[in-house]
Structures are given as C-alpha cells and as structure tokens.
Amino acid sequence: PRVNTSVSSDDLLLEDLETEGERQLKSLLQHQLDTSVSIEQCKSKRRCFAPAAFYKPFGEEAAGALSLSQFQALQESDKETASLRELGLSDAEILLWK
C-alpha cells in the first residue's frame, strides 16, 4: 500500500509501509513467474552489446617531465585516437589516418 502524505506519521505503523526495494522485488518476482512469453517478445528484448573498450595508457610518451601544454596536447591526441578506435579502426588504420 502506498503512503498518503496527508496522514500523519504517528498514525502509520512501520509494518504497513512498502519500500521502493520491496516494490521492485515484487515486480521482478511477478515478471519471473509470468511464463506466457512469445518468441516476438523475446526478440524485442534482445540486447546488442557494444564491444569492450580498449584502454591504452600514455606509457612512454608521458614518461618524464612534461609541461602542462605538452601534457594537454598528448591528452587531446589520446582522445582522438580513442574516438577513432571506437569507430572500429585498427591501430594500423589510425596511424595511417594521422
């Protein structure tokens, strides 16, 4: 049962309150117990996952003492490389692009 905000908190018993977690659990349980599923419903819920992100740290390029502007230029270059990698380009194609 939902709590009416106009009712004072003294009149409510804690056992009568339904938390958001309990509501979520009930919803999940009802969804799990519902066995009337069609192939079309399963297809509509199919999820496509993106490929895993590839992280390559600065490494030797950032070793040693760098000024702020040098580090920012290196960081911008790394962002560009990461965005090209997200587009599906290989390392050889990225080098050719640059």
For residue 26, the model assigns a pLDDT of 93
**Residues 71/63, Cβ–Cβ less than 8 Å:** no
> What does the pLDDT average to over 66-75?
87
Q: Is the pLDDT of residue 11 over 70?
A: no
Domain boundaries, the chain: 68-97
pTM confidence score: 0.38
pLDDT in tens, 34-70: 888 788 877 777 776 666 666 667 667 777 788 889 8
